[in-house]
Structure 1
Amino acid sequence: MTLDADITAFLFDVAFWVAVIVMTSGLLQTLVYLAQLLVATYALMRRPPVARSSLLWHRFADVAPPIAIIVPAYNEQLNVTETVHSLLSMEYPSYEVIIVNDGSRDRTLEVLIEAFQLRQVSRSYEESLEHQPIRGIYGNPTNDRLTVIDKENGGKADAQNAGINVSRAPLFCVIDGDSILENDALLRASQPFIEDPERTIAVGGTIRIANNSTFERGSVTEVRLPTRLLPLFQVIEYLRAFLMARLAWSRINALMLISGAFGVFRRGDVIAVGGFTQGSMGEDLDLVLKLHRHMRQIRKDYRIEFIPEPVCWTEAPETLAVLGRQRSRWQRGALECFFRYRGMFMNPRYGRIGLLGMVHVFIVDVVGPVAEVLGYILIPLFWYLGILNLDFLLAYTALVFVYGIFVSVGSLVLEEMELRRFPNARDLAILLLAAIVENFGYRQLNNFWRIRGCWQFLRQDNSWGEMPRTGFNSSSN
């Protein structure tokens, strides 16, 4: 055999095994997402009719446990007032709002003091969790529902831990400073804690994109689709993430993530696992994994649930630079958490969390981005060089695009089955078109951002990056 023949044979072997890895990874992801879609559809079909807010109040107002709403805020001067107005108008019998100003460099603290006539107050609290020093606590003598903590900068997890320490309620809800809860969100999210108080330790709700919708004093007055392409694509992404993936995992009691933008937790259990992990890029995933590990280790029956009806509106990035930083950070967080809790991976001691949940994280977040980007680059290259035939190239292309369109459209169908936040036929047509178009370029770009996140993880780059806000639209303007 000549040297050229040896090289050719080697290239064919390399191409074959790269193709096997890429196609196997793609097939596994396809099967996972298809299973999620089927389970989520089944779960929605089996759910009882969604009760009206007034009926929920009648049922649960007398038994709903007190909740502390904790909002870490860093440079949130544009949105924080709307967020607080939203929280102070919640339909819930007993709650307090705790804003944690995490050493903001803008006027976040001053805006809060001016808007709500705050002054420094004295309040005792337990140092159950570690965090950066608190510089002052502010309140309004005529409104004991609002407390503002001013502390030195320590990051989102650090701010959340400070809020947990200062809180006094048995449950706490964490939301982002650029988010707005619908009025009945807390009442709906508390329902599992009321109906199954012994087992329920955490509940997540749905996150929706607020860009271009109109708000007045913290309440949504008109739901509109974003007019810019990037936020519109993110609407589809969030439908997939919440109404498909998380509903499916919740159904089999293997929910791995409650979004840091909106989640309700039992305070005692979170303190038992040490609170949010300091400096974590994926503090929300990290906390849920810690809770799973802890409850499995002490062999206590528990539930971590996702409920579609409680809705939190949040502002989505509108530029490629900001969105890219966000997605790279999310990827770093996923890798960080997987390797931190790798002892749970395929470990029968952790039941379906180790055998299903951690395997899903491995396939989708560890192997998935690398395999997909390799496929984008190498499969067409091998075809061009004559190493792979046209049938293989077409099969791979069909897997990437046809499957992506199917899952996106399926998520949109679930939205119509459950939440119906976009009743307008024109909006549904636009979303359908976006569900198709996002698979041609946007999805691939996301995977390149995730590869950048993998590289940053390997370099131990823990920078957060600036996330500028444009602010919520106000109908009063």
Structure 2
Amino acid sequence: MVLIILVYGAMLLLSLFQIRKSYQLDDYEPYEDLLHSEETKPVSILVPAYNESVGINSSIRSLLSIEYPEYEIIIINDGSKDDTLEKLIEKFKCQKINRVIRKQIVTKQVKAVYRSTIYTNLVVIDKENGGKADALNAGINCSSYPYFCSLDGDSIIERSAFLKVLKPIIESDDEVIASGGSIRIANGCKIENGEIVETGLSKKPLVIMQVVEYLRAFLTGRVGLSHNNLLLIVSGAFGVFSKKWVVEAGGYAHTVGEDMELVVRLHRLIKEKKVNKKIVYVPDPVCWTEAPESIKFLRRQRKRWHRGLFDSLWKHRKLMFNPKYGSIGLVSMPYFFFIEFLGPLIELIGYILLGVSVITGSIYIEYAIIFFLLSLIYGSIYSMASVLLEEWSMERYTKVRHFVALFFVSLTETLWYRPMTVLWRVEGMVEMLFGKKGWGEMVRKGVSND
């Protein structure tokens, strides 16, 4: 408990100063200048879509309205069983074209390529089903520009998000090879024509708790890790990568956690080539996505995430405690293994031992209560600090009632949400031991109001 408090406390303080520093600078550095800069790099936006019929049109509309000088949108229909492809062809007046695809990464067969007659920078790839990683690799092969962005098919992007997430890449003279933005939950928001017109909160405590969880993960965890080039995760829902480096690394791997695995592999490649490259997180650019509203699908998601975490760590176990890989091997890999991966198992064992001790009478109740209250207070403080950090710097949730809801729901996390997610993550570990593969079905309700 002392170790976790110290680690998370240090990350919180570092994030606090870093975000506030960036926020103050951004007030004096208008991103609009990047729209007319010759240094602004064109980008290919890759959107893998498998059975995304419900939300894909809103996502594309949000991409067509972004503020960025030169970009292309490549939708990869990965053998959808619903009418995703038909909707795309009809809505955006797509016609089949002959496009040469440079096969730098091996993928499943591409059956056809379409281009919109309304928006010339919109391309749709129809391919055999091969999974998300295979779809992204096909998009990389088809892309025209030196940088690409991976987005989920149900994402809603803010208009200025690409200028913000690409700013470190533009200003670094190719030193930054990957950059990730923040993910926020769109459930409860008002969306029109593929754009967030009013930020809101779902009325369901399960979704509100996920909002707090996302704020904590992005605004405290990733800012602290990114500051020292220790970041091992760039979210697959919103990340920009140098195509040259990704192709050299072999593209996305066919694993449950393909986004994290790619970042770890890029770090490994950087260290082995002995070059000074960075992978960063930028807190301000935001991509809004749909969160699970039922326990069934949230449980499935968290089990999959934990299996993906282990896949990445195990595949690159050579890095663990290896001084050859610098701080990645000595700090990042141990942190993600002992704190993020093994943490839930240790916590669950603690719950079980506590229950057994109470039954057998072999526990000092006074000390147990003190430790419980300490855990409750610390967890609540850490969660609320993330909410306060959001309000202090980003100010996405402007209504007082939203802030109050986030505050009081976060106070209850230790009582119900955390034990629940701990159990699910341990279930993910069990599934991993039995060799379970794949994503599992995730049903989209759709968050668009149009």
TM over 0.5: yes
CA contact (8 A) 2:72 2:122 kept: yes
Shift in Å, 1:143? 2.2
- Structure 2: runs of 5 or more not aligned: none
In the alignment of these two chains, the number of paired residues is: 449
- Structure 1 position 149 matched with structure 2 position 94: no
- Structure 1 position 70 matched with structure 2 position 46: yes
- Structure 1 position 135 matched with structure 2 position 111: yes
- Structure 1 position 388 matched with structure 2 position 363: yes
CA contact (8 A) 2:93 2:118 kept: no
Q: Amino acid of the residue matched to residue 415 of structure 2? A: F
The aligned counterpart of 1:117 is 93
The aligned counterpart of 2:277 is 302
The aligned counterpart of 2:139 is 163
Q: Amino acid of the residue matched to residue 234 of structure 1? A: Q
The aligned counterpart of 1:40 is 15
Shift in Å, 1:52? 6.7
Q: Amino acid of the residue matched to residue 416 of structure 1? A: E
Shift in Å, 1:119? 1.2
The aligned counterpart of 1:329 is 304
2:398 aligns with one of 419, 423, 438? 423
Matches of 1:141 and 1:420 in 2, distance apart?
A: 39
| 400-409 vs 108-117, greater mean Cα deviation | 400-409
Matches of 1:129 and 1:212 in 2, distance apart?
A: 39
Matches of 1:193 and 1:76 in 2, distance apart?
A: 30
Shift in Å, 1:339? 1.1
Task: For 1:17-416, list aligned pairs within 5 A.
Answer: 26-47=1-22, 49=24, 51=26, 55-62=30-37, 63-278=39-254, 280-416=255-391
Q: Which has the larger radius of gyration?
A: 1
CA contact (8 A) 1:215 1:221 kept: yes
SS in 1 for 2:415: coil
- Structure 1: runs of 5 or more not aligned: 1-25
CA contact (8 A) 1:205 1:309 kept: yes
The aligned counterpart of 2:445 is 470
Percent identity between matched residues is 40
CA contact (8 A) 1:132 1:152 kept: yes
Q: TM-score, normalised by structure 1?
A: 0.92
Q: Amino acid of the residue matched to residue 240 of structure 2? A: V
1:447 aligns with one of 400, 411, 422? 422
CA contact (8 A) 1:189 1:264 kept: yes
Shift in Å, 1:50? 5.4
Matches of 2:315 and 2:375 in 1, distance apart?
A: 31
Shift in Å, 1:424? 1.2
CA contact (8 A) 1:77 1:111 kept: yes
SS in 1 for 2:130: coil
SS in 1 for 2:321: coil
1:422-456 C-alpha deviation (Å, 9 max, x unpaired): 12111111110011112211111001000110011
CA contact (8 A) 1:205 1:263 kept: yes
1:57-85 C-alpha deviation (Å, 9 max, x unpaired): 22443221000000010100000000000
Q: Amino acid of the residue matched to residue 83 of structure 1? A: S
1:85-104 C-alpha deviation (Å, 9 max, x unpaired): 01011100000000000111
Shift in Å, 1:312? 0.0
CA contact (8 A) 1:188 1:309 kept: yes
When residues 412 and 283 of structure 1 are mapped into structure 2, their CA distance, relative to the original with a 3 A threshold, is same
Shift in Å, 1:395? 3.7
1:91-118 C-alpha deviation (Å, 9 max, x unpaired): 0000000000011110000010111000
Q: Amino acid of the residue matched to residue 406 of structure 2? A: L
| 371-380 vs 295-304, greater mean Cα deviation | 371-380
Shift in Å, 1:169? 0.5
CA RMSD, aligned part only? 1.5
Q: Amino acid of the residue matched to residue 159 of structure 2? A: N
Shift in Å, 1:311? 0.4
Matches of 1:48 and 1:142 in 2, distance apart?
A: 38
Q: Amino acid of the residue matched to residue 387 of structure 1? A: S
Shift in Å, 1:463? 3.0
SS in 2 for 1:55: coil
| 236-245 vs 457-466, greater mean Cα deviation | 457-466
CA contact (8 A) 1:257 1:285 kept: yes
Matches of 1:267 and 1:208 in 2, distance apart?
A: 26
Matches of 1:198 and 1:366 in 2, distance apart?
A: 33
Q: Amino acid of the residue matched to residue 81 of structure 1? A: N
When residues 45 and 61 of structure 1 are mapped into structure 2, their CA distance, relative to the original with a 3 A threshold, is same
CA contact (8 A) 1:212 1:473 kept: no
When residues 406 and 157 of structure 1 are mapped into structure 2, their CA distance, relative to the original with a 3 A threshold, is same
CA contact (8 A) 1:327 1:450 kept: yes
CA contact (8 A) 2:107 2:138 kept: yes
Q: Amino acid of the residue matched to residue 134 of structure 1? A: V
1:326-361 C-alpha deviation (Å, 9 max, x unpaired): 000000001111111111111111111111111111
Q: Amino acid of the residue matched to residue 347 of structure 1? A: N
SS in 2 for 1:28: helix
Shift in Å, 1:384? 2.8
CA contact (8 A) 1:335 1:365 kept: no
When residues 53 and 324 of structure 1 are mapped into structure 2, their CA distance, relative to the original with a 3 A threshold, is farther
Q: Amino acid of the residue matched to residue 310 of structure 2? A: L
